[in-house]
Structure 1
Amino acid sequence: MSNVSVGPNTEISLHFALMLEDGSEVDSTFNRQPATFVFGDGNLLPNVEAKLIGLTAGAAEVFDLPPEDAFGQRNPANIQRIPRSQFAADMELQEGLVISFADASRAELPGVISAIEDEVIEVDFNHPLAGRTLQFKVEILAVAPVAAE
């Protein structure tokens, strides 16, 4: 086992589980291939990555992530009311349906239909986990140095 610890210029291989407050699992790698990434490459939320600093191979931790450290608070401005006429006439709309929209820069932006009225469809563009306190369980499998760019 290496004594290299998680930090800048390291590659980390780990298993993780992301869970809701009630313990239900949102995502996990414990029953499949571990995740491998370079520290700071954007694969993990920055506040989650910061909690891993200093851990070494063999470490196992569980972190509580308040919304501010995870996907942020829900923002009422991210709920849009869109005229029904902007949806295809043959599109079957139902609450909870996830639809892909294009933002101003043409990037894909998922939205969830949250209400259906006669003339207007309400679409929630908040991340589905926004406003939720999460639990992040991690087991560090390997930490290796990578060359600084």
Structure 2
Amino acid sequence: MSQVKSGDVVRIHYTGKLADGTQFDSSAGREPLEFKVGSGQIIPGLDRQIQGMKQGESGTLNIPAAEAYGARDENQVQVVPRSALPPELDVQVGSNLQATTQDGNQISLTVVGVGDDEITVDANHPLAGHDLVFDIEVVEIVGA
């Protein structure tokens, strides 16, 4: 039976958890996740560790933060004047916002603090700084 290798398109079912067991995502009840191995479509640690698995094989993969979404960067937490936001925008802690950087890239921000005159936003990925655990099943190796 063939093994997953870089360049293969694979379909997997997965459950993603934090190291403490808190589930953050799952493909349960959905179509399997399909991606091309080694193409950068998924986090590097999962992309690397799935290689060598066989179709039908299940396993638990431990992905350190450095091979997932990286370390938290406190420089990504910024205070923004409320006047910089549209006045009709109702922001609450936990709200997700989109911003455009000076070079034209779109970034996602999570509101982590709300004051009368300013809000605090965090541009870190919500899973940054966390080691991740994936229970996966290789449903299909579609091929290269």
Instruction: Give the distance between the partners of 1:11 and 1:96, measured in 2 at CA.
Output: 35
Provide TM-score, normalisation by structure 1: 0.87
2:16 counterpart of 1:9: no
AA of the residue aligned to 2:51: I
Paired residues, number: 144
Provide TM-score, normalisation by structure 2: 0.89
Q: Deviations over 1:96-137 (max 9, x none)?
A: 111111123333211111112333221111101111222111
Root-mean-square deviation (Å):
1.6
Moved over 3 A (4+): none
The answer (yes or no) to whether the contact 1:113–1:122 under 8 Å persists in 2 is yes
Shift of 1:90: 2.4
Instruction: Give the distance between the partners of 1:9 and 1:65, measured in 2 at CA.
Output: 21
Other-structure match for 1:34: 32
- Once the two structures are superposed, the pairs formed by residues 97-116 of structure 1 within 5 Å of their partners are 97-116=95-114
2:75 counterpart of 1:77: yes
| Unmatched segments (≥5 aa) in structure 1 | none
Other-structure match for 2:123: 125
Instruction: Give the distance between the partners of 1:133 and 1:85, measured in 2 at CA.
Output: 37
